[in-house]
Amino acid sequence: MHDVIIDRYIACWNEGDAARRRDLIAATFTEAATYCDPMLQGEGQAGIDALIAAARQQFPDLRFRRRGGADAHHDRLRFAWDLGPEGAAPVAGGTDMAVVAGDGRLAAVTGFIDFAPKGE
């Protein structure tokens, strides 16, 4: 179950088609979900869509991918990700903590940057 939601979460960040991304977000996040990392913050599915769209504009040639498995207990998840060109070494990476709602979607995500280029 955890792998499915994490893979869908990563797919949201990689989806370039706005309509498909909104569908993925609806399947992945609750209506009142929150997202917060050192650079971005959003509330609700529309707010999360807007911040993902902004990130995609800033890094159009980079893709997110999961790094390793997830740690989980109760309704909490922790997982790591990388960001980089397809088939190349990552240029950034982080660890996200998430709260899973009763329906299996994400209710809250807090992201931390593990490494990034200087100045990011």
Q: Which CA distances in Å does 28 have to 18, 56, 62?
A: 15, 18, 21
pLDDT value for 68: 92
pLDDT value for 119: 60
Total-model pTM = 0.93
pLDDT value for 117: 87
**Residue 34 token pair:** 């929150």
Helix axes 44-58, 2-14, angle to 10 degrees: 60
- Whether the pLDDT of residue 120 is over 60: the answer is no
Pairing of strands 106-115, 29-36: parallel
**Residue 50 token pair:** 């807007």
**Residue 90 token pair:** 């990552």
Residue 2 binned pLDDT confidence (cut-offs 50, 70, 90): confident
Mean pLDDT taken over the chain: 95
Q: What is the arithmetic mean of pLDDT over 9-18?
A: 97
Q: Are 96 and 112 in contact (CB under 8 A)?
A: yes
Q: Which CATH entry fits the domain spanning 2-115: 3.10.310.30, 3.10.450.50, 1.10.1740.10, 3.30.230.10? A: 3.10.450.50
pLDDT value for 41: 95
pLDDT, one tens digit per residue, over 36-78 is 999 999 999 999 999 999 999 998 999 999 999 899 999 999 9
Domain residue ranges of the chain, discontinuous segments joined by +: 2-115
Closest CA relative to residue 80, chosen from 100, 63, 66: 66
- Whether the pLDDT of residue 106 is over 80: the answer is yes
